[in-house]
Amino acid sequence: MDFRISAIRILTRMNLSKLNRVTHRDIGYLIAGLTIIYALSGIALNHKNNWNPNYIIDNRSFKTDIPITRESFNNETAAAILKNILADPEFKTFHFPTGNKVTIFIDGGFVQINALTGEGVVEKISKRPLFYQLNFLHYNPGRWWKYFSDIFCISLMIVTITGLFIIKGKNGITKRGAILTVIGIILPLLFLFIY
């Protein structure tokens, strides 16, 4: 009788251990791509004080000799200025906001000129390749993506929890693994306390 109970316990442990490994492996494979996407996007967003992770902003100065006055400025004048400073501008409209400055709006940016000096600046904005799309996903763009992201977060928790129990012995969760897990919990708490 005792032998049967011991055998059942061993088989149950083996089956649970195998189920744990299979779950960890298969969910890990399933979320590998999305984990990399979120990680890259997270790194980009962490450094948004140093760069714009979504857009490339191109600024350059220029000077024009075309006379600019509020009364005579029109679409043709704007097009002539744009032709001299940009290769293929897509003119939209212009506006004299205040004083002697005129702003010409173009596709993806604007041109601003001092009417008295002819000095101006061009600012063009374009989507940063790859990172714009990755960050778009990171920001949860819609209702269905929100649910998909929730499933992804639950999957991360499952992969983490199952990962804790894969290694046995001195490097497992009851010894070395426990110490590292506790350190991993303490580190973010320390940051919360310090900042």
For 117-143, what is the mean pLDDT? Answer: 87
The length of the chain in residues reads 195
**101-104 contacts, C-beta under 8 A, 24 or more apart:** 102/68, 102/70, 102/73, 104/78
pLDDT tens across 171-193, in order? Answer: 888 889 889 999 999 999 999 98
Whether residue 126 is predicted with pLDDT greater than 80 in this model: the reply is yes
Q: ∠ at Cα 115 (114, 120), nearest 5°?
A: 35
Provide the pLDDT for residue 11: 53
**CB contact at 8 A, 64 and 113:** yes
Q: Does the pLDDT at position 3 exceed 80?
A: no
Neighbours of 142 (CB within 10 A): 8
Q: What is the CA radius of gyration of the chain?
A: 30
Please give the torsion angle defined by the CA atoms of residues 135, 136, 141 and 144, in that order, rounded to the nearest 10 degrees: -80
Could you give the percent of the chain with pLDDT greater than 90? 28
Calculate ∠ Cα 58-37-178, nearest 5°.
130
Domain residues of the chain, as ranges?
22-54+129-163, 55-127
Rounded to an integer, the average pLDDT of 149-157 is 93
pLDDT value of residue 182: 93
pLDDT at 99 (0 to 100): 77
